[in-house]
A and B are shown apart, each in its own frame.
Chain A
Amino acid sequence: MSDIKPISILVAALGGEGGGVLSDWIISAATQLDFPVQSTSVPGVAQRTGATTYYLEVLPLARNALAGREPIFSLTPTPGSLDIIVASELVEAGRVLQGGYVNTARTTLIASTHREYAISEKTAMGDGRFDTARLVTAAQKMAQRTFLFDMRVLAWKHGTVINTVMFGAMAGTGVLPFPREVCEEAIRESGKAVEASLRGFAAGYGHVTGTGDADVTAPASIQAGVSSIPRRVQQFPEPVRQLVGAGVEHVTDYQSNAYASLYLDRCETICGIESDRGQLDFPVTRETARYLALWMAYEDVVRVADLKTRRERLDRVRKEVSAKEGEPLRLTEYLKPGLDEICSMLPSRLANWTRNRFKGREGAFSVALHMRTDTVSGFLLLCTLRSLRFWRPRSSRYANEQKAIVRWLAAIRLALAMSGGVAHELALSGNLVKGYGETSERGHRNLEAILADFEATGLRDPELLEARVRDARVAALADPEGRTLAKSLGLQPPEPKAKPIRFVRRLPHA
């Protein structure tokens, strides 16, 4: 039946992004032209931070041309029948693809390329982010036309909410059956933040029609700020040179030039072996250089004090919390130093003595500090801690970390002699050691388990061994309790730490 069909519009958004207001604008635009219009939504529990959709249909025919007939609109988007879809975030565009709503023959797909991460992506112990490269390809393949750009940045730039840019982009595609002025009138009619909304609308419209200001692409990935490359770094093969440079800079910044020399010595050894093996892209050196730099610059109170007292940090904080020029800022740090932090700065023998002396009473040393660092005294205290940098090489923690590093590097060298793949996996395992307190302990424990397994294993088939190390490395990041790792290495699951808590059975009827 060839009659004029409704235009169907799907808005995929997250709670609080103004999807409802966007629907209202579309309704208002349709009403100005006396087009029949219907909108529905599924707020339900989705209103609480979840994904939500708004669905609209507009019949592009004024009511007086309908002769009393009423169009029958659908209340739900149906596969393949969408004319225009706008997603406020990239993964939401993926969700729409997954639902079968995008039709090559019909659908214009607009999506913002920025990410709002889902909880599963955020809680991963490492990098749990969804790979969006495939998503972009899929969108371009499945839609009739796609417009993917960072709408959030445009919204920020124009001091408005993302829904205004979304509306402008929709209007710009020409799929909405309203001229630009009608859309702008709808925004004016709503009467709220009109000027900013119109700016956002114009930005979205301009981007899609190619008439707007400079295009908005994703911000360029952060490049290493290697200013001038020291001579020893220049001697590294090209594929790893930049990374080793960044490592040198990191370690220098952490401790000293001499410490950076030690770093370079260690890198050179690995690089030398790998070079002999004829590896052209140096994967083992790359990952070793990366995680070695991070490990050598392990996190301790001195480092934290150092980073928190830098001029650039003070500027960054003001910018991040959008403090205006001249507005006083009170700054509180949450620090909870304990016996461990104290011992780690003592020389090894004294540290061991102290640990034994206070065994079982560690908790008593943990003080939850709310340290004000906008005051001179608070800042000075941090400066004092910062100055302990010169003492660091004499501390017990330093000795322990170097010992563990040496063991790790030895394993990598040993593996490299046998198989590049195994060595690469061991190098990547360096990422397990990071963080503070419990997190750091857990990382050390996990890496040690993997190294011990490697050192003791009878496996001599490189492929099997590589798979074993990889599985263990991934397993170590699966749960904080180390259960998955234990299973992967065939060990007993870790015992929960004994706690001096008395359990009281429920009492019978009093």
Chain B
Amino acid sequence: MAERSFTNEVQKLRLGEGDEFRGEGILAVTKALLQSGVSYIGGYQGAPISHLIDVLGDSRDLLEGLGIYFENSASEAGAAAMLGASINYPVRGAVTWKSTVGTNVASDALSNLASAGVKGGALIILGEDYGEGSSIIQERTHAFAMKSQMWLMDPRPNLTSIVNLVEQSFELSEASQTPVMLQLRIRACHVYGSFICKDNKAPRISSNELITEPSFDFSKINLPPSIYEQERLKIDARWPAAVNFIRDRKLNETFDGELGELGLIVPGGLYNGVIRALQQLDLADTYGRSKIPLYVMNVVYPLVPDELIQFCVTRLSVLVVEEGQPNYIEDAIHAVLRKAGVAAPLHGKDIFPMAGEYTGEVLLRGIGAYLDAARPAKLEVTEVLATQRALTGLRQDGVAALVEPVPSRPPGFCIGCPERPVFAAIKLMQKELGTVHVSADIGCHTFGTLAPFNVGSTVLGYGLGLASSSGIAPLMRNRVISIMGDGGFWHNGFTSGVVNAVYNGQDSVLVILKNGYTSATGTQAIPSSPTQRTNHPMTLDIAAALKGVGVRWVKTVPSYSVSDMLSTLKDAMTTEEGGLKVIIADGECQLERQRRIKPIVAKRLKAGKREVRTRFGIDDDVCTGDHSCIRLSGCPSLTIKPNPSALRTDPVATVNQGCVGCGLCGENVHAATLCPSFYKAEIIQNATRWERLIYRLRSSVIGMLAGASRTQEALTA
């Protein structure tokens, strides 16, 4: 049960030789895996590669037919360890996760894998979440590649290049006995395009064609003296093999241009952006023919020194476009050129900003500055610079015209989200008990740190909410609260947080938000999901797991009961009982719930069955426009509208059509003693005749009792 169903897209994975595939980048990668003859696939969800997991989850028939094993791994570490299958056996495998947070988790296994080396091609597909729309710390995958000596692909972001590079990656991996990483930026994962397919390849070893002879080879074990030999092999055998393969297969591309004294070195992933900047400056045509020569690195690690020397040796200066920091690539190219005695000046971060995404505007400014410095003879640089300034000045013009910046629109909890009431309860609890240190976690609940709640002082990593309180809790006068999602709980929070806290006798409060899925990544199933895939009958129980490791104080509270949650929180914060106290906030992800019940309700209504629809509303003449209700909720469907009163100027609160009737508005009114303007309306669809009759009777009496507004005439009459 994931947010998106890929039942239609799965059909595209069956396309054969010569067919045209049209779709998203991440689906094209999936198709490329099938064309490469992989035996097994794993991964852990996270933007922007969640869809790869989702689509594989929806294509069991296809995978089983080819004999490919797929699992939704328990964590990135689990996925990386899965690649261990390729150490001893000539089987191809691929895993995927969100980098760099996932790569951090996977690092232990990756180091060991890279040291042992692989027989079968091992590929790691990384969703590089950098820049616009990112939800994580801004770091690069590049460092992981360098430290473990794994090769890092950065394909040009068009489907043909991406698919080709996936296939080449397996061959490179086998030729150099080294795992290969392939990074795809957010927009490349979601890019819609097309490529010409090949047939899917059933792997030689598969769940249909089993291995009969297990292998033992001590040289693959990470113990001395094997580890010294493994390191030597990395340098003496695998690295040169990789460089030769990259050169021979021409994985990096050189494009000539008429301005031969200049040159641009561009990682594949940034190619389209650089070309667009050149197009805007009239230095490249629609089809990417550039006046400035380009060296495009579809493999950003390792470098191919002779290619770089050859590209730079005849130029008067070269510009490296390297996004993110540190500038590993630029520094490495410097070293290559200087050792070879190539004199051409190399520009990079001296022209481009050290940090931040290289957006269109940044690229335009950078290339403009490079041309301004280089002043090639055959180009009217002044004209180019005028064009550049006109374009890059537009943002300031826009800002100036608006005078005041428009309000930002940060992400937040969805309509009816079960996590919102928990943060409302924490906010109310702090009003009574004073401020409390809250250790937040990764998940949709990280939005609790944003307005209107601003609850949570630190975020240390997925599932690390409780672990991250272990240092501060003993130093704090009052108890601290930690937040953890059920996804984070199973990912590692159970061991790193709960088990550790029990074992170390920590006295603190943990709130587990049990919404049933990894909702932030698109509602993938976890061990405790209420609905599982058909071949997963098992649903694991969080409360049982807690009790199993000796947590004595465990209370399950329905998420939407703000008053109960408030009193349970107060109880947990003030009880004399020591040890870890866990509150399980139980409420299914509303996105998933709506997706699940909508078709059922529609069907029932069509069949004439009785259904009650719940909606909340606000009497706009009772509301006075203070908006305390919004400050305690932030629900997208609880919004404001112009005041209908001729006297009042402040907008009134209103509940819009999106309301799913979760009940939080009413709960908050009671728990926080807000105003009496809220009402709950339950509309009975396909009501019984009896209900209709009663309603008519009641309405006619109420109609007689109902009043009207008093006017001067009415009163004087």
Residue B617 at the chain A interface, CB threshold 8 Å:
yes
Docked complex Cα distance between A505 and B576 (Å):
9
Find the A residue at minimum CB distance from B700: A376
A190 smallest CB distance to B (angstroms): 12
Residue B6 at the chain A interface, CB threshold 8 Å:
no
Residue B402 at the chain A interface, CB threshold 8 Å:
yes
Find the B residue at minimum CB distance from A98: B398
Given A329-B684, A501-B574, is A138 in contact with B401 using a C-beta cutoff of 8 Å?
A: yes
Given A309-B707, A327-B687, A332-B666, is A41 in contact with B190 using a C-beta cutoff of 8 Å?
A: yes
| Stretch of A44-52, A178-186, A463-471 at the chain-chain interface | A44-52
Within 8 A of B (CB), among A37-81: 37-51, 59, 69-81
Docked complex Cα distance between A97 and B444 (Å):
30
Residue B473 at the chain A interface, CB threshold 8 Å:
yes
In contact, A95 and B193 (Cβ under 8 angstroms):
no
Given A39-B191, A307-B621, A380-B705, is A252 in contact with B412 using a C-beta cutoff of 8 Å?
A: no
Question: Could you list some 29 contacts between A and B, CB below 8 A?
Answer: A3-B286, A3-B287, A6-B286, A44-B134, A45-B47, A49-B415, A70-B288, A72-B271, A78-B359, A78-B364, A91-B407, A138-B401, A138-B402, A252-B710, A252-B715, A253-B709, A257-B715, A294-B648, A328-B684, A329-B683, A329-B695, A331-B682, A334-B670, A336-B676, A338-B673, A366-B673, A375-B698, A504-B576, A506-B476
Find the A residue at minimum CB distance from B405: A98
The 8 Å CB contact of A79, one of B192, B391, B678, is B391
| B 611-650 binary contact with A (CB < 8 Å = 1; else 0) | 0100101010110111110110010101110111111111
Q: Which residues of A contact B392 (CB under 8 A)?
A: 79, 100
In contact, A118 and B407 (Cβ under 8 angstroms):
yes
Find the A residue at minimum CB distance from B395: A100
In contact, B478 and A503 (Cβ under 8 angstroms):
yes
In contact, B391 and A74 (Cβ under 8 angstroms):
no
In contact, A334 and B669 (Cβ under 8 angstroms):
yes
Q: Which residues of B contact A124 (CB under 8 A)?
A: 627
| Stretch of A164-172, A208-216, A221-229, A410-418 at the chain-chain interface | A221-229
Q: Among the interface residues B275, B406, B412, B684, which one has the most CB atoms of the partner chain A within 10 A?
A: B406
The 8 Å CB contact of A501, one of B287, B360, B570, B694, is B570
Q: Which residues of A contact B331 (CB under 8 A)?
A: none
A481 smallest CB distance to B (angstroms): 9
Residue B361 at the chain A interface, CB threshold 8 Å:
yes
Q: Which residues of B contact A366 (CB under 8 A)?
A: 673
B445 smallest CB distance to A (angstroms): 11
A267 smallest CB distance to B (angstroms): 13
Residue B546 at the chain A interface, CB threshold 8 Å:
no
In contact, B646 and A43 (Cβ under 8 angstroms):
no
In contact, B710 and A70 (Cβ under 8 angstroms):
no
Within 8 A of A (CB), among B580-635: 612, 615, 617, 619, 621-622, 624-628, 630-631, 634
Residue A239 at the chain B interface, CB threshold 8 Å:
no
Q: Which residues of A contact B383 (CB under 8 A)?
A: none
In contact, B708 and A376 (Cβ under 8 angstroms):
no
Q: Which residues of B contact A368 (CB under 8 A)?
A: 563, 670
Residue B507 at the chain A interface, CB threshold 8 Å:
yes
Residue B539 at the chain A interface, CB threshold 8 Å:
no
Within 8 A of B (CB), among A346-395: 366, 368, 370, 373-376, 379-380, 383, 386
Q: Which residues of B contact A134 (CB under 8 A)?
A: 401-404
Docked complex Cα distance between A474 and B563 (Å):
33
Residue A407 at the chain B interface, CB threshold 8 Å:
no
Residue B19 at the chain A interface, CB threshold 8 Å:
no
| Stretch of B113-121, B170-178, B276-284 at the chain-chain interface | B276-284
A114 smallest CB distance to B (angstroms): 11
B405 smallest CB distance to A (angstroms): 6
Docked complex Cα distance between A450 and B648 (Å):
21
Q: Which residues of A contact B366 (CB under 8 A)?
A: none
Q: Which residues of A contact B393 (CB under 8 A)?
A: 100
In contact, A310 and B706 (Cβ under 8 angstroms):
yes
Q: Which residues of A contact B676 (CB under 8 A)?
A: 304, 308, 333-336, 436
Q: How many residues of B sit at the interface, in one of the four size bands?
A: 35 or more
Residue A461 at the chain B interface, CB threshold 8 Å:
no
Q: Among the interface residues B392, B398, B405, B473, which one has the most CB atoms of the partner chain A within 10 A?
A: B398
In contact, A117 and B639 (Cβ under 8 angstroms):
yes
In contact, A314 and B680 (Cβ under 8 angstroms):
no
Q: Which residues of B contact A117 (CB under 8 A)?
A: 639-640
A87 smallest CB distance to B (angstroms): 11
Docked complex Cα distance between A50 and B670 (Å):
29
Within 8 A of A (CB), among B692-708: 692, 694-695, 698-699, 701-703, 705-708
In contact, A252 and B712 (Cβ under 8 angstroms):
yes
Given A39-B192, A101-B394, A503-B574, is A376 in contact with B701 using a C-beta cutoff of 8 Å?
A: yes
In contact, A74 and B276 (Cβ under 8 angstroms):
yes
Docked complex Cα distance between A336 and B363 (Å):
60
| B 445-463 binary contact with A (CB < 8 Å = 1; else 0) | 0010011100000000000
Docked complex Cα distance between A223 and B627 (Å):
23
Docked complex Cα distance between A23 and B23 (Å):
12
| A 259-294 binary contact with B (CB < 8 Å = 1; else 0) | 010000000000000000000000000000010011
| Stretch of A125-133, A199-207, A452-460 at the chain-chain interface | A125-133
Residue B316 at the chain A interface, CB threshold 8 Å:
no
In contact, B712 and A332 (Cβ under 8 angstroms):
no
Given A76-B359, A327-B684, is A243 in contact with B646 using a C-beta cutoff of 8 Å?
A: yes
A218 smallest CB distance to B (angstroms): 10
The 8 Å CB contact of A327, one of B397, B474, B666, B683, is B683
In contact, A334 and B678 (Cβ under 8 angstroms):
yes
A96 smallest CB distance to B (angstroms): 8
Q: Which residues of A contact B190 (CB under 8 A)?
A: 40-43
Instruction: Enumerate the 6 nearest inter-chain pairs by beta-carbon distance, A residue then B residue, closest first.
Output: A78-B360, A100-B395, A224-B646, A42-B133, A138-B401, A328-B695
Residue A173 at the chain B interface, CB threshold 8 Å:
no
Q: Which residues of A contact B692 (CB under 8 A)?
A: 326, 328
Q: Which residues of B contact A141 (CB under 8 A)?
A: 401
Docked complex Cα distance between A491 and B282 (Å):
63
In contact, B646 and A75 (Cβ under 8 angstroms):
no
Find the B residue at minimum CB distance from A246: B646
Q: Which residues of A contact B575 (CB under 8 A)?
A: 504
Docked complex Cα distance between A448 and B282 (Å):
67
The 8 Å CB contact of A257, one of B282, B563, B683, B712, is B712
The 8 Å CB contact of B399, one of A98, A120, A135, A338, is A98
In contact, B650 and A431 (Cβ under 8 angstroms):
yes
The 8 Å CB contact of A50, one of B276, B412, B643, B650, is B412
Find the B residue at minimum CB distance from A95: B406
In contact, B619 and A307 (Cβ under 8 angstroms):
yes
In contact, A386 and B707 (Cβ under 8 angstroms):
yes
A338 smallest CB distance to B (angstroms): 7
Docked complex Cα distance between A306 and B634 (Å):
29
Residue A247 at the chain B interface, CB threshold 8 Å:
yes
B125 smallest CB distance to A (angstroms): 17
In contact, A119 and B133 (Cβ under 8 angstroms):
no
The 8 Å CB contact of A252, one of B187, B359, B711, is B711
In contact, B713 and A228 (Cβ under 8 angstroms):
yes
Given A437-B673, A506-B479, is A42 in contact with B186 using a C-beta cutoff of 8 Å?
A: yes
In contact, B619 and A75 (Cβ under 8 angstroms):
no
A171 smallest CB distance to B (angstroms): 20
Q: Which residues of B contact A99 (CB under 8 A)?
A: 395, 398
In contact, B716 and A257 (Cβ under 8 angstroms):
yes
Q: Which residues of A contact B621 (CB under 8 A)?
A: 307, 313
Q: Which residues of A contact B402 (CB under 8 A)?
A: 94, 97-98, 134-135, 138
Given A43-B47, A311-B708, is A334 in contact with B666 using a C-beta cutoff of 8 Å?
A: yes
Docked complex Cα distance between A499 and B444 (Å):
33
Q: Which residues of A contact B705 (CB under 8 A)?
A: 309, 379-380, 383
The 8 Å CB contact of A330, one of B287, B399, B644, B681, is B681
A189 smallest CB distance to B (angstroms): 13
Residue B339 at the chain A interface, CB threshold 8 Å:
no
Find the A residue at minimum CB distance from B191: A40
Given A119-B451, A334-B676, is A506 in contact with B716 using a C-beta cutoff of 8 Å?
A: no
